[in-house]
Structure 1
Amino acid sequence: MAKAICILTGNHTAFGVVFFKSDANGCVTVKGEFTGLTPGKHGLHIHSFGDLTNGWISAGPHYNPNNEMHGAPQDEKRHAGDLGNVDVNEDGLAKLEMEIQHFHLTGIHSVIGRTLMIHQNEDDLGRAGNEESLATGNAGVGVAWGVIGICQSNISEKALEEKSNQ
């Protein structure tokens, strides 16, 4: 079992903490909380690089090791980094919980060291019928981002949440 964590910051108002945990069957559970976002849906993606030297721009394109078109997390063919949307309430808060089988925390398709990013706009999941939709889902600029890092395997998610709130 492997664990990872990502602390997202970026535009000075949005903040998030996302935990990743893989099981013996290769499924990755992704749990997170976000604050400081505008209400509505926001695209969530893993980007190819953990390079934040130029903010969200240097993180590169969506993580796409199989050279697929952009799509929804449940689509058979989509970028490995396509995580769909986060639904933000009127208070600017959002919670995320999903199970993923199209990337891993170890091996050749590991997302460790890559950037997790929440975007300004809703991800259209590649269904808008234009070139940008098939590349990015028309999700727009990044508003919060962070590099996915290795997490100590003996630390619980609750302990990590408490540390991140200090």
Structure 2
Amino acid sequence: MIRILAVVALAIGAAATAPAIASAQESSQTAVANFIGKDGKETGRATLTAAGKGVLIEMEVTDLPKNTWVAFHVHEVGSCDPAGGYESAGKHFAGEDANAEHGFLAQKGPHAGDMPNQYVGADGTLRAQVFNSFVSLDDKGTAIRGRALMIHARSDDNRSQPAGDAGDRLACAIIK
């Protein structure tokens, strides 16, 4: 009788830890990034999900210029200091190829952190789903967890060095 209770206790213990393990695995496959506007206030959020060959970024960001295209990039440093115009986030994330140039149209491009321009609607809100196949959440060399997402004031021309003539940095989010 004692032996049967021990087996049942082990089975109950294993079942109780299964959700914890699944939750830990799920959390390592996702990340969040809260956007901060130039005034230092939160303006939106991105959810990042690891995929087999890249990262899916789903986001909604408010208080942006209405009816316009804006550049969207991953920057090197996970720092979003609005007082310095978000220069604390550093340059665009190059990824494993330190010699890569900025832009999809550059001969030696793109940087791993280069992503397509995004459209902001009439309400000043950007809603997007972007898949970046050049990055990962946590794999060495391509990891973006701990780096910053950045929205710029203008669209990226996909060839000007070093940043596509994308203009001011409007909103920044640290990937956690």
Q: TM-score, normalised by structure 1?
A: 0.77
Q: TM-score, normalised by structure 2?
A: 0.73
Q: Deviations over 1:120-161 (max 9, x none)?
A: 1111111xxxxxx12101001111102100xxxxxxxxxxxx
Q: Structure 2: which 5+ runs fail to align?
A: 1-25
Query: Partner residue of 1:107?
Result: 139
The residue type equivalent to 1:134 in the other structure is Q
Query: Partner residue of 1:8?
Result: 35
Q: Deviations over 1:96-134 (max 9, x none)?
A: 1122210000121110110111011111111xxxxxx12
Aligned counterparts of 2:104 and 2:43: Cα–Cα separation in 1: 24
Select the structure with the greater relative contact order (CA < 8 A; seq sep ≥ 6).
Answer: 1
**Which deviates more, 36-45 or 90-99?**
90-99
Aligned counterparts of 1:78 and 1:20: Cα–Cα separation in 2: 21
Query: Partner residue of 1:45?
Result: 73
Aligned counterparts of 1:45 and 1:14: Cα–Cα separation in 2: 18
Provide the aligned length of Structure 1 versus Structure 2: 141
Root mean square deviation, CA, Å = 2.1
Query: Partner residue of 2:46?
Result: 18
Query: Partner residue of 1:154?
Result: none
Q: Structure 1: which 5+ runs fail to align?
A: 127-132, 150-166
Which protein is richer in helix relative to its size? 2
CA contact (8 A) 2:38 2:85 kept: no
Structure of larger gyration radius: 2
CA contact (8 A) 1:72 1:82 kept: yes
Aligned counterparts of 2:101 and 2:59: Cα–Cα separation in 1: 26
Runs of 4+ residues deviating >6 angstroms: none
Q: How does 1:1-166 map to 2 (within 5 A)?
A: 2-12=29-39, 15-23=43-51, 25-39=52-66, 40-53=68-81, 54-65=84-95, 66=97, 67-72=99-104, 77-108=109-140, 109-126=142-159, 133-149=160-176
